[in-house]
Structure 1
Amino acid sequence: MTRSPADLMRVNLLEVFNEPDPDRRAAVIAENYAHDVVWHEPDRINHGRTDLVRRAAELRAENPDWVFRPTGAASELDDIGHLGFEYGPAGGHPPTISGMDIARTRDGVITELYTIVTEIHPPS
């Protein structure tokens, strides 16, 4: 099954970065990202699926009770996908971080991912 850029953006946010099970997360990464994917974060660049798996696990470990929530529908234009997000404590608490993911895709997988943080909210 070939996923659209919008589908890949939902998978990226909800099935990778919200997934607590490391084996399930790694399987989703293997299926939906190119082996040589490049992920640009505000403070680092991750190269390849192995780095992506490792960094996703680090983010889950830093804030295990936090979740990502989409801020609207995923959108796409040609081979580019976009999805805004909020990140913070689960259970209806206000988000701590707002941002967006933008990805270039090819043949139904993410080849390059950019995470942009647009706002950091102080804790209440």
Structure 2
Amino acid sequence: MTRSPADLMRVNLLEVFNEPDPDRRAAVIAEHYAEDVVWHEPDRIIHGRAEFVRRAAELLAGNPDWVFRPAGPASGLDDIGHLGFRWGPSDGRPPVVSGMDIARTRQGLIIELYTIITEICQAP
């Protein structure tokens, strides 16, 4: 089944960056991202699926008790998907980071991902 850009944005946030199990996370990445995916973060650019898997694990390990939550609905237009997010403690305290992911897709795969941070609050 080919997923729409909006569907891929939900997968990206909820099934990759909220997935604590590294094997399940890697399987989702293998299914929904191009082998040569490029991920643009504010401070680095990640090239390829293997580096994407490594960086996602690194990011999650830095704050294991935090979760990503959508900030509104996912949207898509042609081959572009967008989803705002909030990231912070899973216990209901306010999020620490707000931002958005924007992705280019092709044939149901994310080929390029841009993560934009819009706000960083004081950690609780």
Calculate the TM-score normalised by the size of structure 1. 0.99
* SS of residue in 1 equivalent to 2:93: coil
Specify the alignment match of 1:74 in structure 2: 74
Unaligned runs of 5+ in 2: none
**Percentage identity across aligned positions?**
79
Report Cα offsets for 1:34-71 as digits up to 9, x if no partner.
Answer: 00000000000000000000000001110000000000
| TM-score for the superposition, normalised by structure 2 | 0.99
For 1:100, the aligned partner's letter is M
- Aligned mates of 1:104, 1:112 — CA distance in 2: 5
Mapped pair 1:110 → 2:110: yes
Alpha-carbon distance between aligned partners in 1 of 2:117 and 2:60, rounded to the nearest angstrom: 17
Matched residue count: 124
Which stretches in structure 1 are left out of the alignment for 5+ residues? none
1:77 maps to a residue whose letter is: L
Q: Does residue 63 in structure 1 map to residue 72 in structure 2?
A: no
Quote how far apart the aligned CAs of 1:74 are.
0.1
Q: Distance in 1 between matches of 2:66 and 2:90?
A: 5
Distance in structure 2 (CA, Å) of the matches to 1:105 and 1:118: 23
Residues of 2 paired with 1:17 and 1:36: CA distance?
19
Deviation at 1:122, TM superposition (A): 1.2
| Corresponding residue SS for 1:64 | coil
Distance 1:96 1:68 in 2: 10
CA shift, 1:26, in A, is 0.2
Runs of at least 4 residues off by over 6 Å: none
Q: Is 1:123 aligned with 2:106?
A: no
Superposition RMSD in Å: 0.6
